[in-house]
Amino acid sequence: MTTNRRHFLSAAAGIAGLSALDVRPAAAVVEAEPWGIKLGVATYSLRDFDRAKAIEMIKALKVTYVSIKDVHLKQTDTPDQVRAGAKEFADAGLKVMSGGNITLNETTAEAMKKHFEYAKNAGMKMIVCAPTPANVKVVESLAKEYDIVCAIHNHGPEDKNFPTPQSVLTAVKGMDRRMGLCMDIGHSARTGVDVVKTIAEAGDRLLDMHVKDLADMSNKDSQCDVGEGKMPFPAIFKQLKKMGYKGCVNLEYEINAKDPMMGMQKSYSYMRGVLAGLASA
């Protein structure tokens, strides 16, 4: 069965319309893992809103899986406050899968432990992080000590430490399996790599994903609602399915910070439409 972008957009639009009417015959509207893919949200997308409002918005998006940015769960809070804040997400029916992005620029384990203590208190099994090539072995030692997975985030051409997924994969080669990659497909595309082939190359070192769409695959400022750009989402999802990816696909919506809901709703509707089309195919 041949499917194309227009078909997926139509499917997504139909699902969005049903959701708006609160009519739910299509399971993809509310399914947490359409076609076995965990659609989540990086709460950085909602950075201009406090924790209570962000939780309310996530629930309205019908998303279950969450990666918490510290604007919604501050590292400067006391351990009790961190635990209480994390409980607010859990009480709302949300599953905290990770936290971050967390900058890890300390040079010693002792100096870096505060980040892992924060993650432990928040109940995070994974941190999305930005270490340096010089301290990545220190990060590995703490990943093992705390039994917390560390997914190193690549940040594109501007990142002097880990611009590409390949730079992360090189750094973690031979390390403990708790060390791996959080692949940001937007930043990756801007470095010129083939996103789908890179996902395959990462294999089981791919621990987490941040997704966004770009109208111009080399221009950071061209970010748009998912489905309106050039990111090959059907091929991305097919590759993830093929390799049995178990992590999350987290929307990181970096535009329209003051009023993101419509664009985020469109983005999830598109992705759910793609996954519904692939499942039916």
Q: What's the pLDDT tens digit per position in 120-174?
A: 999 999 999 999 999 999 999 999 999 999 999 999 999 999 999 999 999 999 9
Could you tell me whether strands 213-214 and 223-224 are parallel, antiparallel, or unpaired per DSSP bridges?
antiparallel
CA distance 236 to 213: 12
Residue 87, pLDDT > 70, answer yes
Residue 180, pLDDT > 50, answer yes
Average pLDDT, the chain: 92
Per the listing, tokens 């301290």 go with 135
Confidence of residue 13 (pLDDT cuts 50, 70, 90): very low
CA distance 203 to 192: 19
User: pLDDT tens across 227-276, in order?
Assistant: 999 999 999 999 999 999 999 999 999 999 999 999 999 999 999 999 99
pLDDT of residue 137: 98
CA distance 37 to 31: 10
DSSP readout, 107-140?
A: SSHHHHHHHHHHHHHHT-SEEEEE--TTTHHHHH
The identity of residue 173, as a single letter, is K
More confident residue, 69 or 12: 69
Nearest to 261 by CA among 26, 81, 58, 1: 58
Per the listing, tokens 């221009």 go with 219
Sketch the domain layout of the chain as residue ranges.
Answer: 5-280
Nearest to 55 by CA among 150, 45, 269, 212: 45
pLDDT of residue 30: 58
Task: Classify burial at 173, counting beta carbons within 10 Å of its beta carbon; exposed 0-12, middle 13-18, buried 19 or more.
Answer: exposed
How much is the pTM? Answer: 0.90
- Strands (E) across the chain are located at 38-42, 65-68, 95-103, 126-130, 149-153, 179-184, 206-211, 213-214, 223-224, 248-251
Q: Which residues lie below 8 Å from residue 20, measured CB to CB, with a gap of 6+?
A: none
pLDDT of residue 120: 98
Fold of 5-280: TIM Barrel (3.20.20)
Is the separation of the CB atoms in 111 and 135 below 8 Å?
Answer: no
